[in-house]
Amino acid sequence: MSTSNGLRYIDSDGHILEHPTDMPQYAPAKYRDRIWHIETDDKGVEWLHYDGNVTPANGLASAGTAGLSDEERARAFRGEMRYTEVRPAAYNAKARLEDMDTDGIDLAVLYPTMLLGLQSMRDVDFATAQARAYNDWCASHVQEGEGRLFGAGALPPMHLPEHVEGLAAEIYRVADMPGMVSVFMRPNPSVDWRPFNDPVYDPIWRAASETGLPIGLHPFLAPDLPGACVGLQLDRPRNEDGSYVDNWSSNTEWTGRAPGQQGPSSSVLFTQAIANPVDVMSCIAYLTAGGVLQRFPDLKMIFLEANGGWLVPWLERLDHHCKKFQWEVQDLEMMPSEFFRRQCWISFDPDEAMMAVTAQSPLVGADRIIWASDYPHPDAKFPGVTEELAEALEPLTFEQQSAITSESAISLYGIG
């Protein structure tokens, strides 16, 4: 699909909302009642059933409000919209194609919404069943997309070293599934705070290298895994009088702040604004300067939903420190920025002011940049996302623009 400006658009990080009823059929019988799904009671009220918990489903509708009126979005954020009232394209493939046509988007790679947080679940056996059920459903879903939709596979948790092999096994399984072109995990040092250059994670990198599946590091808003949010206590809630809650532990509870919510709560604004880029920056440091990409030269890494304007100075800083403290990286064969240029991609939002500057930097380049619509989440621009992206790319050559809008995604995901 070519647009009026001659550019082809491939959405490298779109989202789907979890289907309200379909996933349990893909799970073993003993787990079906716990698999993510929504049930409607005799009063027409929708309830989320997930891992043995039953909670109101209306609050989840706000995740599928792209393109809705301000009034409808406000209704969703007040918890007055049912989950099944969200934009149909949120989990209907045919409707998704229609909305893509509106913005001139040819292809899209889809990541989930609530299941982005899957890796914090403590029952690893159940979470593995949930990941597999989602991946099987997603593979079926994208087959309804007429060759224009592709999926990213979920990976189970890894709280202990012995859990890591389970992630590797799911990578091998997803690699054989039609329409699945990547896997994702959270950018958190989940195994006992060990950074990603620790050998404990090597089975993951090896499986991704051998299958050719890129790994997308996608943050999630909940402060329930080791990382910046927990380490900096960004989630520590405050009482209504402004005082902080005493004896707070991120591992025991998290509420977030919903509009109109009363009582102690933490700020989603600060947890996401700070933790997302900090966690991703940490991952880049350990994967490049920490030698992972050197040991696994076929590994492809994607850094998602943390913006990208900070990338050039971060790579400059890593290169500088590797030169100044070279005795700590004597076995490193290239600079961190060179490993990034060889094996990494970063996602930009369409309206980021630093996208063109980053594309022109020799440390990154347009061929390492992909773009994300974030559709159908509430912060997505619909319609008009490709127009917004084209405006941000105006300082670049047509070749650079084309790399960002489509060619980088084609190289990364092997689609198109």
How does residue 238 score in pLDDT terms, banded at 50, 70 and 90? confident
Give the residue with greater pLDDT, 243 vs 80.
80
76-85, 242-251, 273-282: least confidently modelled range: 242-251
User: Which amino acid does the sequence have at 364?
Assistant: V
Q: What is the pLDDT of residues 107-129, one digit of tens each?
A: 999 999 999 999 999 999 999 99
Nearest one of 384, 214, 226, 236 to 300, comparing CA atoms: 214
- Residue spans per domain, the chain: 9-19+88-413
* Top CATH class, 9-19+88-413: alpha beta
Residue 22 has φ and ψ, to the nearest 5°, of -85, -30
Q: Rounded to whole angstroms, how far apart are CA atoms 59 and 113?
A: 13
Question: What is the predicted pLDDT for the residue at 259?
Answer: 36
pLDDT digits (tens, 9 = 90+) for 280-302: 999 999 999 999 999 999 999 99
Q: How far is CA 77 from CA 62, 73, 112, 392, in A?
A: 6, 6, 20, 30
Query: What pLDDT is attached to residue 251?
Result: 54
Report phi then psi at 120, rounded to 5. Answer: -90, -5
Name residue 48's beta-bridge partners: 38, 55
Query: How far, in Å, CA of 24 to CA of 53, rounded?
Result: 15
Residue 68 has pLDDT above 60, yes or no: yes
Min mean pLDDT across 157-171, 176-190, 235-249, 392-406 is at 235-249
For the stretch 12-30, pLDDT in tens is 999 999 999 999 999 999 9
The 3-class SS string of 197-254 reads CCHHHHHHHHHHHHHCCCEEECCCCCCCCCCHHHHCCCCCCECCCCCECCCCCCCCCC
Please indicate whether residue 244 or residue 382 has the higher confidence score (pLDDT): 382
What is the structure's pLDDT at 243?
87
Residue 56, strand partner residues: 47
Phi/psi for 150 (5° steps) reads: -135, 155
Alpha-carbon distance 279 to 306, whole Å? 9
Stretch 237-242: mean pLDDT: 83
Instruction: Specify the pLDDT at position 136.
Output: 98
What are the pLDDT digits (tens) for 263-273?
Answer: 345 678 888 89
Over residues 336-363, the mean pLDDT reads 98
pLDDT of 202-228, one tens digit each?
999 999 999 999 999 999 988 899 999
- Cα-based angle 218, 222, 226 (whole degrees, multiple of 5): 75
- The total of other beta-carbon atoms located within 10 Å of residue 10's CB is 26
Question: What CA–CA distance (Å, rounded) separates 265 from 110?
Answer: 31
User: Which position has the token pair 């009088």?
Assistant: 241
Q: What is the mean pLDDT of the chain?
A: 94
Q: Are 228 and 220 in contact (CB under 8 A)?
A: no
pLDDT at 250: 60
Could you tell me the two tokens for 43? 């009063």
Q: Tell me what pLDDT residue 234 has.
A: 86
Q: Which two tokens stand for residue 209?
A: 């290298």
DSSP state of 265: B
Give me 152's structure tokens: 């990213």
Name 365's Cβ contacts closer than 8 Å, sequence gap at least 6: 341, 359, 403
Residue-level pLDDT at 279? 98
Residue the block writes with tokens 């490709």:
386
- Whole-number Å distance between alpha carbons of 55 and 180: 31
52: left (phi over 0), alpha (psi -120 to 50) or beta: left
